[in-house]
Amino acid sequence: MSAEHLQELLTVLDLTRVGEDAFTGTHPSLNPVRTFGGQMMAQAFVAASRTVPEHLPPTTLSMHFIAGGDPAKDLEFQVVRLRDERRFANRRVDVTQDGVLLGTALVSHLAGGRGLEHNVPLPDVPHPATLPTIDDLLIGYEETVPLFVAALKPIQWRYTNDPAWVMRDKGDRLEHNRVWLTADGPMPDDPVLHAAALVYSSDTTVLDPIITRHGLSWGFDRIFAVTMNHTVWFHQPVRFDEWMLYATSSPVAADSRGLSNGHFFRGDGQIVATVMQEGIIKYFPPR
């Protein structure tokens, strides 16, 4: 079933071009009550990338969310060409639905060439082949996190630590989250779609360290969460048909807002991308 879900995601990312710089995008068959932010970001990234020469790789995507989308309706993507040079390009993508602005993305592409290189080390974690699947980890929690059980699952997940709901059940706390991710099936040989799949996946698990360090979990506790802004920096070419470790943590939470950051590591230890996300996080303790 997950392979079918991956094909559905790839279909959603295959935007329809309705003008030189205008695109429309659909939703998958399984959706949350609002358009999944990772989907909107990935589609905006694809829209921008389809207007840029193929020799320019992506460097940054920064998305600001303004309103929630209706999964029953298509999304419209208008690309604004901010600058074009031989080795770099800048784009803005406005995402609308029924004339309402849902979000704005700034996307940069740059062919920088060789320079100084360094990399923090890959965390010491088990190999994904030795770890349980996400479906295994949801057994017994179907009524606790039903939205996770019913969600589209185009990506394989292998948690190296307990997920939030298992951790909460055990009474544990953790200040970070580390999960292996890869596409659950073959990917087209299109670098834009590989990077877009990473963007899509970057919106999963990233806010977990904000709540697990307080011993909380989705489903068990009354938590309201919504993304305000999300940025991805690309450091290396992306192959999302290979395992990548998504290692996240939260440096601060205040004023009902939480900040999380993370790195996508290749299996050889190289950092492929860095992520930063800010979300509104409200916790309503039991009386």
Average pLDDT over residues 74-80: 98
Q: Could you give the residue ranges of the DSSP H alpha helices within 112-190?
A: 134-138, 146-149, 164-170
Q: Domains in the chain, ordered, with CATH?
A: 2-111+130-283 (2.40.160.210)
**Residue 1 pLDDT exceeds 80:** no
- pLDDT at position 35 over 90: yes
Structure tokens at 176: 């970070």
Residue 3 is predicted with a pLDDT of 80
Question: Across residues 219-241, what is the average pLDDT?
Answer: 96
Question: Residue 46 is encoded by which pair of tokens?
Answer: 């694809």
Local structure of residue 207 (DSSP, 8 states): T
Q: What is the pLDDT of residues 108-154, one digit of tens each?
A: 999 988 899 999 999 999 999 999 999 999 999 999 999 999 999 99
Element (H, E) at 194: helix 191-202
Contact 232, 274 (CB under 8 A): yes
Mean pLDDT, rounded, of the chain: 96
